[in-house]
Structure 1
Amino acid sequence: MDETEGTGRTRGISRAQFLAGAAAVGIAGVAGQARAVDAPHGRGLRRRGVVYTVGAGETPGTAWSARRMRHDIRAIRDGLRADTVDVTGDGVERLTTTAAEAAERGLHVWLQPTLGDAPQRDILEHMAETGRFAERLRKHGASVDFSVGCEFWLFVPGILPGGTALERIENLRNGTVDRPTTLRRLTAFTAKAARTGRSVFKGNLSYAAAQDIDDPDWNLFDIVGIDYYSYFRKRSDHVRELKQYLRWGKPLAVTEFGTCAYAGAPETGGMGWDVVDYDKQPPEIKGDLVRSERVQADHVGGLLDVFASMGLYAAMAFEFISADAPHRPDAPRLDLDMASYALTKVIKDRPDDPSSGWHWEPKEAFHAVARRYGAAGHRTVQSQ
């Protein structure tokens, strides 16, 4: 999963640098057993979704609120035409309240707690409590999949040295990582997470792995989950790359995909967000980037076409909203939305006031996704 603003992730880190570090460590997963579920089923996505993050936000004005969440969930269903919400972030109450709202609105729920930089016991307890709620939803007839988290090697302390994700990335870059120890710790925590998930949730279990970094043994889970940020000019190259994740004979869910709203963003892969200078106050966009919602829309729409052609289980566009990255049409240098993967843009009533109220408006990528999701939903209804 990418290090993005407003999600409790790190900022200002070169993904290329920690990709190189992770490759040097040779992180890989562990073996286990999971029940079989349906593999790819032919043309069309089975689940058409979007990531909705429920983190605390950077300011009180951008923090999660039940009122805004309910409005957003309705927009996801009726405007974006999605049938799935990937409810992710930390805070059991935020996660469960959002999941319940989505289920009540008839949406499929992909529930993924992502508490990071906390003691492992706390992370597992947070996961278990969220999973128990997911099971209650499932027993009451809601459509729910449960993911035990994402990228444990980076966000869970005690696998790599370092007290925070920033410190762990720095240790990867410096080569101060003992490979056998790292693999042993990752194996142990992944197994604990899978056991914890199984103990509280009886539906399909998954995990969101970082593409090209995190390589778990998917026998532990029912659904393969990949955060996918590759860039190819040819769609056939995307198909070729994604096919490697089908070798397990399990459904494949693209748990994140997308890009930012400026020219050249897709070519940066998962590093599109890394164009903000946070040492300045207020933060500024670095360089002379050219805002382009069309670039974002074309990339996101093209990837959805690829996923549909492969008949994947699910795809969750990253992400619905990024409240801490407001759009500034009057000041391109301060237009943090350029560095956001969100399908919507946040407009503040008073742009220079941190406590200002705000609303969101759809970006071109929102409409590109809505057209595809709406058409796919119409075809599904006709085939029933």
Structure 2
Amino acid sequence: MERTNRISRAGFLAGTAAVGAAAALGPAAAAHATGRRRGLRRRGVVYTVGEGETPATGWNAERIRADLRAVRRDLHADTVDVTGDGVERLAATAAEAAENGLHVWLQPTLGDVPAADILDHLAETGRMAQRLRRQGASVDFSVGCEFWLFVPGIVPGDTVLERVRNLMNGTFDPVVMQRRLDAFTARAARTGRAVFDGRLSYAAAQDDRVDWSLFDVVGIDYYCSFPRPADHVRELRRHLRWGKPLAVTEFGTCAYVGAPDTGGMGWDVVDHDKDPAEIKGHLVRSERTQADYVAGLVDVFEVMGLYAAMAFEFVTPDAPHRPGDPRHDLDMASYAITRTVENRPGRPECGWHWEPKEAFHALARRYAAAVARTPHRGGARR
């Protein structure tokens, strides 16, 4: 299931960041506006681990080794956001990323279980992150993602989708929600600090109210659509007021015309009541739309000199691409920069592979260009 993000994102202004931010804003003006040096420090992608909807789409050690090599060598990323649940899966994936010389942004996202279980999972993942760091890996640790979404009891609803619908319908008390969110975030921060002595962060929705004094890095899942790069700069600048590094922990869009206008709700175009699931309406597949959007945002992030940016996401195995069958081309509703192709269409048990989308190539060009102009920092220890 695609990550479900803050509902209010869907109402942001239309348009894309398909033009270069540096040209539109001007590097001198951007540097003056943000007070930051030019150039992203870390350029990456989100890599989600999990059980999958079928055994064929679940976590696989051989597959993650190949994928992380591609992240480093073909995408030219220097950072991977390893996220998901299952401490053993997270540990193995993070260790493999470090072996490939990647900076690890490690983020457990266990959800739909009691809060105490989520904190236990967080603590164990943090201990693993600390061991990895002591072994010489470069690691930042995020205590989680959008807790109001994943942690039961903050917003009414037993599941992620129920909580999303309650947010959309307005069937929640915002004051109570904020109080509960603040309390759990503080508990998560204390838990993270107790087991990890490196940089600590959290991935919030861009409109969330967070006490960032609890963390070393401000983390924002960013799904805005604006007509001009300068509008993105203006939106992101408000997250710099804490005087701390800013990481864009997720950014991206889906591969259909108009997807950027939907913000973080681009995934919500699939009718899962149908068997097989099918795309609602008459969407037009457009990898170019996705590529232009993510490339434009990277230009903005580079000009602003942000700490990190991680594109969401590398692959979505349970959303296969079915060329010639737009009603069942679930990849259109995926934020992934690769398309999942079934080896035998309609038979997921027969295996699958991924192929790069236009967005993959667009990111790779920008990441490679940045590597070419950035002095070598001396490996993963940074």
TM-score scaled to structure 2, two decimals?
Answer: 0.89
Aligned position for 2:98: 103
One-letter amino acid of the counterpart of residue 320, structure 1: F
Aligned partners of 1:185, 1:219: CA distance in 2, in Å?
Answer: 18
- What residue ranges of structure 2 are gaps of 5+ in the alignment? 13-33
For residue 234 of structure 2, the aligned residue among 216, 233, 240 is 240
**Residue 275 (structure 2) aligns with:** 281
Percent of matched pairs sharing the same residue = 71
Other-structure match for 1:114? 109
CA distance in 2, matches of 1:17, 1:110: 24
Deviation at 1:17, TM superposition (A): 9.9
Task: Give the C-alpha shift of residue 104 in structure 1.
Answer: 1.0
Matched position secondary structure for 2:66: helix
Contact 2:223–2:264 under 8 Å retained in 1? yes
Greater Cα shift, 177-186 or 218-227: 177-186
Whether the aligned pair in 1 keeps the contact of 2:9 and 2:223 (CA below 8 Å) is no
CA contact (8 A) 1:18 1:173 kept: no
Contact 2:156/2:172, CA 8 A, preserved across alignment: yes
Do the aligned partners of residues 309 and 165 (structure 1) sit closer, same or farther apart at CA in structure 2, a change above 3 Å counting?
same
Residue 223 (structure 1) aligned to one of 217, 221, 224: 217
Determine if contact 1:46/1:314 at 8 Å carries over to the other structure.
yes
Q: Which moved more, 1:357-366 or 1:279-288?
A: 279-288
Distance 1:53 1:295 in 2: 23
Flag the 1:240–1:287 CA change in 2: closer, same or farther, 3 A.
same
How has the CA–CA distance of structure 1 residues 231 and 113 changed in structure 2, closer, same or farther, with 3 Å as cutoff? same
Which residue matches 2:204?
209
AA partner of residue 116 (structure 1): G
Deviations 1:297-327 (A, max 9, x none): 1110000000000000000000000001111
Question: How far off its partner does 1:184 sit?
Answer: 2.7
Q: TM-score, normalised on structure 1?
A: 0.89
Does 1:191 pair with 2:183?
no
Alignment match, 2:257: 263
CA 1:363–1:172: 2 relative to 1, 3 Å: closer
- 86-95 or 173-182, larger mean C-alpha shift: 173-182
Q: Corresponding residue for 1:299?
A: 293
* Alignment correspondent of 1:82: 77
Q: Deviations over 1:10-57 (max 9, x none)?
A: 6xx99359989xxxxxxxxxxxxxxxxxx9741110000000000111
The alpha carbon displacement at 1:199 in A equals 0.3
C-alpha separation in 2, matches of 1:191 and 1:84: 27
Structure 1: which amino acid aligns with 2:258? G
Q: CA deviation at 1:84?
A: 0.1
> How far does residue 195 in structure 1 lie from its aligned partner after superposition?
0.3
Offset at residue 285 of structure 1 (A) = 1.3
Moved more, 238-247 or 372-381: 372-381
Tell me the secondary structure at the aligned position of residue 154 of structure 1: helix
Q: 1:15 corresponds to which residue?
A: 7
Task: Name the CA shift for 1:284/1:321 in 2 (closer, same or farther; >3 Å).
Answer: same
In the aligned structure 2, how far is the partner of 1:175 from the partner of 1:128? Answer: 33
What residue is the counterpart of 1:62 in the other structure? Answer: 57
Residues 51-91 of structure 1 deviation map (CA, whole Å, 9 limit, x = unaligned): 00001111111111011000000000000000000000000
Q: Which moved more, 1:244-253 or 1:185-194?
A: 185-194
Change (3 A) 1:116 1:40: farther
The residue number in structure 2 matching 1:374 is 368
Cα distance between partner residues in 2 of 1:342 and 1:54: 14
CA distance in 2, matches of 1:43, 1:18: 30
Change (3 A) 1:282 1:248: same
1:141 maps to a residue whose letter is G
Contact 2:65 2:96 in 1 (8 A): yes
Query: Which residue identity does 2:278 align to in structure 1?
Result: E
Does structure 1 residue 127 correspond to structure 2 residue 122?
A: yes
Structure 1 residue aligned with 2:22 = none
How many pairs does the alignment contain? 357
